[in-house]
């Protein structure tokens, strides 16, 4: 019998965010591999299936995370190749900051093994709800913090700038769980090229369990260097400028509107004459 792989998301808040289809996949799986946010979530998952195997054991301080991720992928695919119905469960969304799922699905498909993904509620979804941000109002830019530092990116200060994994700012080793103040200062200096020193930013962390309090700590941008940061801390920079009208485009649209109005009213005017 051919094996299969489904990567599912369990959401951010324990037990509250999982979708019916993801829960069904977990309950019916031959084996479940898990990457949960905490031990409570792991125990909860183990209550849905008798064969749940935690992938956290592959993480080691100083070990390159690419090696860790590839080991996880190989462990998952070994069971798929063995003909089992495999589910890989990730907290949050299985495709957001979760390269293991993408690598596993890509590798499975290359071997002509069935592999799919089911979405989950991510930290981004929680962020919009908890902080009251509508991405459709002024727009949002999202970057992984180190990638934002390593490459030249365009910054629109009239939109929200959201930097993920800020605790790992500037890490090129892929082996650290956090970086120090010197690294954060480089990030702050980069941001100060676009934002004022007294710009208020938000340190955000979604709730892991229902009784937790989400973190929405407001600090000045320059205070980021000494702030308490964790692997799941997200930095949110609200806009510091207003959107500027694109007069050239607006003029073109006005001209199109007038032309369409003339076409619409043309036949009626002819009949009157």
Residues annotated as catalytic are 65, 69, 91
Instruction: Walk across the sheet containing 52-54 and list its strands.
Output: 52-54, 31-35, 85-90, 4-9, 115-117
* DSSP per-residue string spanning 29-64: -SEEEEE-SSHHHHHHHHTT-S-EEE-GGG--TTS-
Based on the number of CB atoms within 10 Å of its own CB, is 90 exposed (0-12), middle (13-18) or buried (19 or more)?
A: buried
Residue 235 to residue 231: CA distance in whole angstroms: 11
Element (H, E) at 181: helix 181-191
Residue 38: which of 19, 63, 10, 18 has the closest Cα? Answer: 10
Residue 187 to residue 222: CA distance in whole angstroms: 10
Bridge partners (DSSP) of residue 141 are 161
Helix (H, G, I), strand (E, B) or coil at 268: helix
- Per residue, the 3-state secondary structure of 241-257, as one string, reads CCCCCCHHHHHHHHHHH
DSSP state of 228: -
């Amino acid at each position: 019998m051919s094996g299969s792989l489904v990567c599912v998301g369990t959401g951010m808040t324990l037990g509250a965010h999982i979708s019916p289809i993801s829960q069904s996949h977990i309950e019916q799986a031959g084996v479940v591999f898990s990457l949960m946010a905490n031990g409570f979530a792991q125990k909860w998952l183990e209550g849905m299936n008798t064969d749940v195997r935690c992938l956290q054991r592959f993480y080691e301080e100083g070990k390159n995370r690419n090696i860790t991720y590839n080991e996880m992928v190989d462990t998952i695919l070994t069971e798929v190749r063995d003909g089992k119905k495999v589910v890989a469960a990730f907290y949050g969304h299985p495709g957001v900051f979760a390269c293991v799922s993408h690598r596993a699905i890509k590798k499975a498909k290359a071997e002509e093994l069935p592999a799919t993904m089911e979405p989950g509620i991510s930290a981004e979804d929680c962020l919009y709800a908890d902080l009251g941000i509508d991405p459709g109002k002024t727009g949002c830019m999202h970057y992984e913090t180190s990638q934002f530092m390593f490459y030249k990116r365009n910054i629109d200060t009239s939109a929200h700038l959201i930097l993920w994994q800020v605790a790992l700012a500037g890490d090129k080793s892929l082996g650290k769980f956090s970086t120090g103040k010197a690294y954060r200062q480089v990030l702050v200096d980069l941001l100060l090229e676009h934002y004022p020193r007294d710009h208020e930013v938000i340190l955000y962390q979604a709730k892991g369990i229902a009784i937790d309090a989400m973190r929405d700590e407001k600090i000045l941008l320059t205070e980021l260097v000494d702030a308490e940061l964790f692997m799941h801390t997200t930095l949110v920079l609200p806009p510091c400028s207003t959107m500027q009208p694109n007069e050239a485009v607006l003029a073109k649209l006005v001209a199109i509107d007038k032309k369409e109005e003339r076409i619409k009213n043309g036949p009626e005017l002819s009949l009157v004459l």
